[in-house]
Amino acid sequence: MSVKNLINSDKIPQHVAIIMDGNGRWAKTKGNNRIFGHQNGVNAVRDTVEAASEIGVKYLTLYAFSTENWNRPKLEINALMQLLMKAIREETPRLIKNNVRILSIGDLDSLPSRVKSSLERAKADTAHCNGLSLVLALSYSGRWEIANAAKQIAKLVANNLLNADDIDEKTIGKYLNTSNMPDPELIIRTSGEYRISNFLLWQIAYSEFYFLSKFWPDFAKEDFFEAIYNYQQRERRFGKISEQVNQIDK
């Protein structure tokens, strides 16, 4: 029996974010090069998008390329950019068919122009879709995003458009790339690493974490459902005590 049948449809997280890790190590176990791992990672992306759509997740954010990934060997960066562009172009018709909208977070201006334009095109072509929003984190890091928000807010203050005393958490949230999205309730990371790697640093304040040892190319729909089921067994207290959380409002 699939664990999907055990999932409570009234408690589906609105936003799930994934650190897709282990492509390189997966390829090594197969005696192949790292690019082969990334290529197979695309299949896991396809399955995960389908799984998230099936159960009604509203936002799925995938950490596809971090700010720090620019420090990888040039050959790998070029292959990853090529692969991203190809995947975005080839998958768009299927995404439209499944009512999936593409969004992105990150410093898109730092991407090669052909990657940026494929992405912009895919976003425009899926803009009418109102099922799952697939958020690609590209040239993204949490610290970059927060610094970027600080810069924009500082400019408003300098131009007397905002009073520094009025800056609160909402103000910061408004200038993040994720301003129109709910914070992720659940973060998944594959490959047995227990790190956040500069991902969604502001937004994960109260996220639940799910780690598994599988490498990303082996991540299957059933693993996604397992993560959701596991999340649903947890008690989220947001700093309160258990009795308060379980109290039924009259």
**Do 134 and 104 meet the contact criterion of CB atoms below 8 Å apart?**
no
Phi, psi of 135 (to 5 degrees): -100, 115
**Do 91 and 121 meet the contact criterion of CB atoms below 8 Å apart?**
no
Give least dist CB 129 to ligand FPP, A. Answer: 16
Give least dist CB 33 to ligand FPP, A. Answer: 11
Judged by the rule CB under 6 A, the positions of this chain that interact with ligand FPP are 20-25, 38, 41-42, 45, 62, 64, 69, 83-84, 87, 136, 191, 216
The residue among 136 and 186 lying less far from ligand FPP, judged by its C-beta, is 136
Give least dist CB 84 to ligand FPP, A. Answer: 6
Pick the catalytic residue from 69, 98, 198, 230: 69
Distance CA 209, CA 20 (A): 14
Give least dist CB 100 to ligand FPP, A. Answer: 12
The residue among 206 and 209 lying less far from ligand FPP, judged by its C-beta, is 209
From residue 54, give the alpha-carbon distance in Å to each of 48, 132, 155, 234. 10, 9, 43, 22
Distance CA 65, CA 141 (A): 9
Distance CA 109, CA 125 (A): 20
The residue among 64 and 227 lying less far from ligand FPP, judged by its C-beta, is 64
Pick the catalytic residue from 21, 23, 40, 223: 21
Catalytic residue status for 69: yes
Helix or strand holding residue 64 (H, E): strand 59-66
**Burial class, 138, CB count within 10 angstroms (exposed 0-12 / middle 13-18 / buried 19+):** buried
Dihedral angle sign, alpha carbons of residues 135, 141, 142, 144: negative
The residue among 77 and 201 lying less far from ligand FPP, judged by its C-beta, is 77
Catalytic residue status for 23: no
Residues annotated catalytic, as ranges: 21, 69
